[in-house]
Structure 1
Amino acid sequence: MPLLDIFSKKQVKIEERPLVIVDIREKNSMIASELVSIGCSIEFKQLKVGDYIVKNTVIERKTVQDFISSMINKRLINQLNDLKEEKQKLLIIEGIEERDIYNSGINENAVRGLILSILLNYQIPIIYTKDTEDTANFLKVLWKKQEKEKELGINEKKKSKDVNEQMQYIIEGFPGIGPKTAKKLLNHYGTIKNVINAEEGEIKKVIGKRADIFNLVNKGYKKLTSTS
């Protein structure tokens, strides 16, 4: 909420803390404390899918060791099947520098094949992070990115609304045209120009009555003579 600085009379906006929903099973992981340390708010919930939720994005996090072990016991496939149903999703593979993902006893091409399958078949984006700190920072940046996109979307809608209101205001300036009639005309014709250029009989069909738009549009302007 904006606050008023009584000295400068300028509005000071308090920056909202990024909120990350954390699965209750991740409560003892380092990610939760890392998120708090970089200024995020966290909320623990029992999640059916994923380990974290940032706004509308569901994130599954795997350390390299988790990724390999869940690949072997097939648990990863079930998790991917659940994750792919989400509209926005991410898979984070963490600790890529600490442990070689191909140095796990599994055929390297099998690992590559699985990664390609996740990207192409499941259509789940993958992010590789160095450690828990890197993962936490990715989650924070994701929140900020989505918040910025949301604000841009709101501004675009507001801009569109402002233009509509201006057009409606102009049409309302004609005799006998109120807000409802102006909206009806603009919804039907699309532009002010089309409304003005429309046939009188056609406008009567649209609004159900005769309009005096044409009388005003076709009237000549009376020049004012200076009295001085």
Structure 2
Amino acid sequence: MRITADYRESESGLIELLENRGVLLDTIKIPYGDYIINDVITVERKTAKDFLISIIDGRLFNQISNLKKYCTNPILLIEGNPYKTDHKFDRMAIKGAIISAQTIWYVPVIFSRSKEDSRDILLMISRQIETCIDVVPLRGGYRPKRLKSKQLYILQGLPQVGPKLAKRLMKHFKSVSNVMNASVQTLTEVDGIGKVTAEKIRAVLDAEIS
């Protein structure tokens, strides 16, 4: 099990709980989301309180928008019950935000009861990825018909490459073949791709199946 955690999650206590379960865990600065599971699933974790605050300050849908743009398989994890907090908040506003995330942005929402429950959910996702990665299509049933759409679709299969980043890659390298042959250093010339992401892309392209 490999999980990458954003360094800002260090104070949550969840990282320590994962490490105690023997997870191979890296703590770095993640541009979008809080956890990346097995380089496939990106999880944005929010406590119930932070979820409500993010609705008020408008941060929530900006984050969800970025998750959809730059992450292949994003998930929103809400820790705690957003309907039962110290904040007086309109229930319909909460429900509306959750429905919008799932139906408008197509970002699944998962609820956990505690940090321990969140840990178990992340571990379960990791195990299911390893079990199903060879048999379950993670990008749904969509199959593009136009050449340009097919090219962008292929690139969005790379780690942390969403629609906008796929377009930048095509604009920079001119062809899918050039992207596949690009070095780590050359990949980082594209806006939005750091060294970590570039290394993950090359690792996927270069790894041999055992």
TM-score, L = length of structure 2: 0.60
1:92–1:127 Cα contact (<8 Å) kept: yes
Counterpart position of 2:2: 19
The more displaced of 63-72 and 79-88 is 79-88
Over 3 Å counting, the alpha-carbon distance change for 1:121 and 1:39 in structure 2 is same
Residue 102 of structure 1 deviates from its aligned partner by: 7.1
Matched, 1:87 2:87: no
Q: Do the aligned partners of 1:50 and 1:61 also contact (CA within 8 Å) in 2?
A: yes
Q: In structure 2, what is the equivalent of residue 132 of structure 1?
A: 115
Q: Which has the larger radius of gyration?
A: 1
8 Å contact from structure 1 (residues 94, 135) kept in 2 = yes
Q: Which residue does 2:152 correspond to in 1?
A: none
Change (3 A) 1:102 1:26: closer
Give the corresponding residue for 1:143. 126
58, 62, 67: which is aligned to 2:42? 58
* Alignment-derived partner of residue 89 in structure 2: 106
Relative contact order: is structure 1 or structure 2 higher (C-alpha 8 Å, sep ≥ 6)?
Answer: 2
TM superposition shift of 1:29: 1.8
Q: 1:39 Cα shift?
A: 2.3
- TM superposition shift of 1:150: 2.5
Mapped to 2, the partners of 1:121 and 1:152 lie a distance apart of 27
RMSD of equivalent CA atoms: 1.7
% identical aligned pairs: 28
- Aligned to 1:29, which of 12, 17, 37? 12
Moved over 6 A (4+): none
Aligned equivalent of 1:78, options 52, 56, 62: 62
* 8 Å CA contact 2:76, 2:110 repeated in 1: yes
Q: Does 1:67 align with 2:24?
A: no
Deviates more, 1:117-126 or 1:22-31: 22-31
Contact 2:41/2:74 (8 A) holds in 1: yes
Alignment match, 1:176 = none
| Number of matched pairs | 134
2:79·2:111 contact (CA, 8 Å) conserved in 1?
yes
Q: Tell me by how many angstroms 1:132 deviates.
A: 0.6
- In structure 2, what is the Cα distance between the partners aligned to 1:100 and 1:106? 8
Residue 100 (structure 1) shift? 3.4
Ranges in structure 1 where 5+ consecutive residues have no aligned partner: 1-17, 154-228
Q: Distance in 2 between matches of 1:120 and 1:103?
A: 28
Whole-angstrom distance in 1 between the partners of 2:114 and 2:35? 16
